[in-house]
Amino acid sequence: MATESHSSTSPSRRLGTRLGRAFVLQAVVISVTAIVGVWVAGFTIERVLIKRALQEEANHFWRARNADLRAPPPDTLNLTGFLAPARDLSSFPAPLRDLGPGYHRVDTQADMSVVYVEERGGERLALQFDGEQVRELSVLFGLVPLALVLALLYFGAWIAYRAGRRAISPIEWLARQVRQVAPDRADPDVFDVANMPGKADAEVVALAEALGRLSARVRDFADRERTFTRDASHELRSPLTVIRIAADALLARRPLDNESETTLRRIKRSVSDMEGLTEAFLLLARESELGLRSEPTSINAVVEDVLERASMMMGDRRLELIHSAQCRLEVEASPQVVSVLADNLISNAVKFTDAGAVRVRVGESFLEVADTGVGMSPDQLGSAFRPFFRGQDVSKRAEDLDSRRPNASRPRRGGHGVGLTIVHRISERFGWPVTIESELGQGTRIVVEFPLARVLPLDPDPAG
């Protein structure tokens, strides 16, 4: 079961959403600025302008008082003045009697007032400005103009947002079309600019046309791959089948000397390896085309079949195959895919292990293959998944070991350096993470995880 990885663009990362958020943020900043501006305007009117006006009114009164002792205190719609001897303030309203010289803010049940108190020549003057007028002035000279400015700014931002949405709508359309394109079913017509919403700019049209040409090329590549797969399936298997049948026929002729029989068996084993390698490559090549059948596949059963085949590769080596299972592990996948994966892991371990053991363990959601073979150095380990890599030191160490054996008992190394590459490709395609640990001269341990596997209990009676 192939795991298709599409780049899912969450709504928070879409271009249109980000554009909308930018305009919302702009509106919030404007609103906060407006609120601060109104507060600053009110503060300025109350603390600066009104206080300045009260001080000027007081100076005007004292000048008039000096000219005419009968000049009354100011008494207008918004300003009320009180004058009394500093020693007797009984004629002052109660809230003003205890106020010293200077500016004061007096809150009453009716409203709020700004009071300015000043003493000259033994007399105290109190000027009370109606606080409601302060609020009205703040609204008149602060809120109203600011509200009009905000309305204009919001309207302009909305117009800009609509224009921005129209400008990016062709890009969003292209993104949706790209997400819907399947590599093996690429259709250049989906990028036809005639179907594009809005009025696309020249750059967007050029991008759409380039994507259409690219889709056409991808479709041609997919067609060529399907053609190659069909041809290779026949052309590669047929000669190998002929060689295998010919080797079987020669082995059936008796008597054969030891050298001839050994050579024929090597030919037969090489044919078997090439058939397995061909099957693996064709499996990976045609998986996207044919959609390999997915079914509940037992990892345990596949491993047992592979171990049975691997036992025939050991020859006369003192090598032990150890198989253990903690559970029954099932994955929803093609049995062919799982078989290719397990076969490459186990065969690779057997080829490079002369003595000791190859341990295969099926655990909860993983398959582990560990050997006591020649291993790899840290530098070689970093290139283990590279195609056709066998490791110079590993091969040399293996050849040194082989040279000390008689011809009949030498282990068959074989291999083309693609076993772990195939494992890695299957791992990436089907979402089965693979990790590898190795130490030169000590062995290698490889673990393949199956995140979506079903973990079932072992059968209490294997015969059942």
Separation CA 440–CA 160 (nearest Å): 66
Of residues 227, 339, 226, the one with CA closest to residue 276: 339
**Is residue 335, in this structure, part of any structural domain at all?**
yes
Query: Looking at the 3D structure of the chain, how many domains does it have?
Result: 4
Q: Are residues 434 and 323 in the same domain?
A: yes
**Is residue 95, in this structure, part of any structural domain at all?**
yes
- Last residue within a domain, chosen from 172, 201, 225: 225
**Is residue 17, in this structure, part of any structural domain at all?**
yes
Separation CA 355–CA 376 (nearest Å): 16
User: Of 122-136, 176-190, 214-228, which range is least confident?
Assistant: 176-190
Token reading at 257: 């000397």
CATH of the domain at 410: 3.30.565.10
* β-strand pairing of 434-439 with 443-449: antiparallel
Separation CA 438–CA 353 (nearest Å): 13
Separation CA 460–CA 464 (nearest Å): 8
Separation CA 89–CA 71 (nearest Å): 19
* pLDDT at 117 (0 to 100): 93
Q: Are residues 140 and 172 in the same domain?
A: yes
Q: Are residues 65 and 27 in the same domain?
A: yes
Q: Is the pLDDT of residue 413 over 50?
A: no
**Is residue 1, in this structure, part of any structural domain at all?**
no
Of residues 137, 125, 134, the one with CA closest to residue 57: 125
Q: Are residues 19 and 144 in the same domain?
A: yes
Q: Are residues 340 and 461 in the same domain?
A: yes
* pLDDT at 25 (0 to 100): 81
**Band of residue 265 on the pLDDT scale cut at 50, 70, 90:** confident
User: Of 10-14, 37-41, 202-206, 293-297, which range is least confident?
Assistant: 10-14
**Is residue 212, in this structure, part of any structural domain at all?**
yes
Give phi and psi for 346, each to the nearest 5.
-75, -40
Of residues 247, 304, 307, the one with CA closest to residue 274: 247
Candidate ranges 38-47, 73-82, 416-425; pick with highest mean pLDDT? 73-82
Secondary structure (DSSP) of 60-109: HHHHHHHH-TTPPPPB-SSEEEEEEETT--TTS-HHHHT--SEEEEEE-S
What's the domain range around 271? 236-291
Give the residue with greater pLDDT, 390 vs 301.
301
Secondary structure (DSSP) of 174-215: HHHHHHH--GGG--GGGG-GGG--S---HHHHHHHHHHHHHH
Separation CA 236–CA 228 (nearest Å): 11
In this structure, is the dihedral angle defined by the CA atoms of residues 97, 99, 105 and 107, taken in order, positive or negative? negative
Q: Is the pLDDT of residue 127 over 60?
A: yes
Strand pairing partners for 116?
103, 127
Alpha helices in 104-184 (DSSP H): 131-138, 144-180
Separation CA 190–CA 184 (nearest Å): 14
- Last residue within a domain, chosen from 149, 165, 180: 180
Q: Are residues 112 and 186 in the same domain?
A: no
- Last residue within a domain, chosen from 291, 308, 326: 291
* pLDDT at 2 (0 to 100): 39
Separation CA 299–CA 338 (nearest Å): 7
Q: Are residues 145 and 215 in the same domain?
A: no
Task: Tell me the whole-structure pTM to 2 decimals.
Answer: 0.48
Give the residue with greater pLDDT, 445 vs 290.
445
Q: Are residues 279 and 297 in the same domain?
A: no
* pLDDT at 369 (0 to 100): 95
Q: Are residues 310 and 422 in the same domain?
A: yes
Q: Are residues 199 and 249 in the same domain?
A: no
Token reading at 49: 């302008």
User: Of 27-41, 45-59, 300-314, 439-453, which range is least confident?
Assistant: 27-41
Q: Are residues 21 and 63 in the same domain?
A: yes
Give phi and psi for 414, each to the nearest 5.
55, -160
Q: Are residues 18 and 159 in the same domain?
A: yes
